[in-house]
Amino acid sequence: MLDCSKLFAWVFLLISLQINGDSFNTNTFNNHGSVGLINIPSARFYNEGSYGFTLYDGEPDQKATFTASPYNWLEASVFYMNIQGMPYPGFEYQDYKDKGFNFKIRLKEEGIFPAVAIGINDLAGTGYYSSEYVIASYGINNLDIHFGLGWGELNGKRDLKNPLIYFDDSFKNRSPDLGVGGSLDIEKYFSNEEATVLFGLSYLLGDNLLLKFERDPVNTPGKIGFDDSRDGFSLGLDYSISNNFLVGLSFERGNYFSLKFSYKNSEKDFSKHQYKTLSDSNRTENKYINFMNTLQNNDIGVKQIVEKDRKIGIQVTQFSHPSLDIIEEIIMTAKAENNIEEEVITNYEIVNLKAVENFDQSFEDGAKVIFKRGDVRGWNQSTRLAIRPFLAAREGFLKGAILLENDNEYIFSDSLTYSSNLKYTLWSNFDDLFIPPEDTYPAQVRSDVKKYLNNFDDNIVIGRAQFDYFLTPRKNHHLMFTAGILEEMFVGAGFEYLWFENQRNYAIGFEAFNARKRDYELNFGLLDYSNTTAHVNFYYRNYGVIPFDAKISYGEYLAGDVGSTLDLSRRFKNGIVLGFFATSTDVSSEQFGEGSFDKGIYFNIPIFGDLINYSWRPLTKDPGQKLVRRNNLHDLVVRFRKIND
């Protein structure tokens, strides 16, 4: 039974300071990447747009977790884990490895009564960490108290009868875990004859030190193979090196010490665009030219400025800024700085795509032309260090490479561009990848990725080399033609069409590409496989209570299977994108094998002017696979639509 005497003793020993319950600074990730204590979660959440990484080294489990908060009320995370000493079936000489997905939903914010959240761990996973919980959190000055109920692998104490049985007898029996990743088993959630009482607290010691104490509910030995608990309690200390970096040390269940490293960042931590004022040495006597130079100094290209009827019409083009909000803010600031008294009307273009037209030819007729730029030709290039991870392979928990990447772009005209990506490996252990995939139905298009990675060493790898031609033949109708090396695994040629009207929150498009498989040397050779892939696309941006972006595609995929993909995401003004996708095709769940259907999450995060792009799939299979394209029309023009927040 639950012994509360030790817990209350801890409460009365603590001294009060003021603390904010959901503070980004005073809450930290637990060992499994959820905002919480040591092994139990809390009902605390970070601001929407926040994200973080957690590395945990325990006994016997080791984990790497990415966590994101697309909304104030939702926390989602994916993890890669390694269970030391547990053999991988068929490869008994190495440790067991797996991937999983967790989420936590806020049911109530803290007020007079505690905050309340509900969550599921290892959703659609193999069940090694499968658990569910309802948790409440209440802050008293610098003390934060957490209490609730746990099921599954959080049900190690079995304190009381499962209260949900009083509502429905189906909660009485918990179905056994299938041991098959990617499968949902809704009937087992929150089920068992008993449930475990969760309890813990945290206390802020100064600005950088957080003390954590919990009654540890982990099921021992459980599926992971934990040692039997010696005293049932865990104690932890988290030290914040900065607002973003943290190191944590815990003593778990009286058995062993564990170590944790965390990085976290908040959407609010990204400052707005750093506006660049035009220097005095670059100013002229013409305020309109100064206005143009100021915009260009802030990465907004100006193609034309005209003046008519006390109005200034400007035609701008840009790639740099992720949202219309930032662009409009720069234009208004530059207008005020350069004493432009006239109303400014703006047309927006990206390459030669006319995304938004606020004035037409009738306004330009008879207008005074202040500035008009001809076609721009030029060469842009950047070189950077990049890390390429390959996590939770059967050959090892972490494989990866440190790459030197070079991106080049040559602009022949406003409509025609050439872009390339070259990679050179400074270090990698991709040679360790050798185990072939188990399923390659209906055609092998992605599951042989290890053969490509094997050839990264000692080569200059061509990641991309393509030509793109853009045009807007009619208002709201956009086209893009593409040919060349489209990605690491495919060359091809094709086109995309998009109908996009800026005043509407939906768009419709179509794309078709003939794709040919590249050989494993990643130069100019080709394999025998080719296919024509085509999709009809529908895009929708919701501005309601729950803002989101949706994309629904239907068509034929790279492997020849036919079906549809649902993609849901959340975009923020600073360029962060957090998303989820699921694909169902005419490949049955039995033919697909482990996982049943293709699904995953992805995130784009702006760091140091670049974008960290990462997609996570529980398994790399061949059905439901699309080309990984550098640009698509909707992503280009949607940045001229208001962000949905």
Residue 151: HSE in the Cβ half-sphere, 13 Å Cα cutoff: 27
Comparison of pLDDT for 418 and 273, the residue scoring more: 418
Find where tokens 């029996």 sit. Answer: 173
Tokens, residue 271 = 């400052």
Calculate mean pLDDT across residues 445-464: 92
Q: Mean pLDDT highest for which of 160-169, 306-315, 412-421, 530-539?
A: 530-539
363 or 395, which is more confident? 363
* Confidence grade of residue 457 (pLDDT, cut at 50, 70, 90): confident
Nearest to 52 by CA among 86, 81, 24, 12: 24
Tracing tokens 């139990």 back to the chain, one arrives at 40
- Residue 133 pLDDT greater than 60, yes or no: yes
Q: What is the pLDDT of residue 19?
A: 44
Higher pLDDT, 156 or 439: 156
* Separation CA 266–CA 55 (nearest Å): 19
Could you tell me which residues are beta bridge partners of residue 203?
Answer: 143, 211
Which 3 state secondary structure label does DSSP give 162?
coil
Q: At 616, is the secondary structure helix, strand, or coil?
A: strand
Indicate the domain borders of the chain: 5-269, 280-372, 378-640
Q: Which CATH superfamily, name and number, covers 5-269?
A: monomeric porin ompg (2.40.160.40)
Three-class SS of 240-255: ECCCCEEEEEEEECCC
Helix (H) or strand (E) holding 546: none
| CA 35 – CA 26 distance, rounded (Å) | 10
280-372 is a CATH 1.20.50 domain: no
**What pLDDT band is residue 319 in, cutting at 50, 70 and 90?**
low
Mean pLDDT of 447-471: 92
CA distance 180 to 159: 29
Is the pLDDT confidence value at 175 over 90? no
> What is the per-residue pLDDT for 645?
66
| Residue 326 CB burial class (10 angstroms; 0-12, 13-18, ≥19) | buried
In 442-576, DSSP assigns E strands to 460-474, 477-485, 490-500, 506-518, 526-542, 548-556, 562-571
Mean pLDDT is lowest, of 107-111, 196-200, 385-389, 551-555, for 385-389
C-alpha to C-alpha distance for 606 and 320, rounded to whole angstroms: 11
What is the C-alpha to C-alpha distance for residues 458 and 329, in angstroms, rounded to an integer? 47
20 backbone φψ class: left, alpha, beta (φ>0; ψ -120 to 50): beta
Name the pLDDT band for 470 (thresholds 50, 70, 90): very high
Residue 223 pLDDT grade (very low, low, confident, very high; cuts 50, 70, 90): confident
Q: How confident is the model at residue 136 (pLDDT cuts 50, 70, 90)?
A: very high
User: Are 417 and 453 in contact, with CB atoms under 8 Å apart?
Assistant: no
Widest CA span of the chain, in angstroms? Answer: 87
Which tokens belong to 531? 């296919």
- Residue 180 confidence (pLDDT) above 70: no
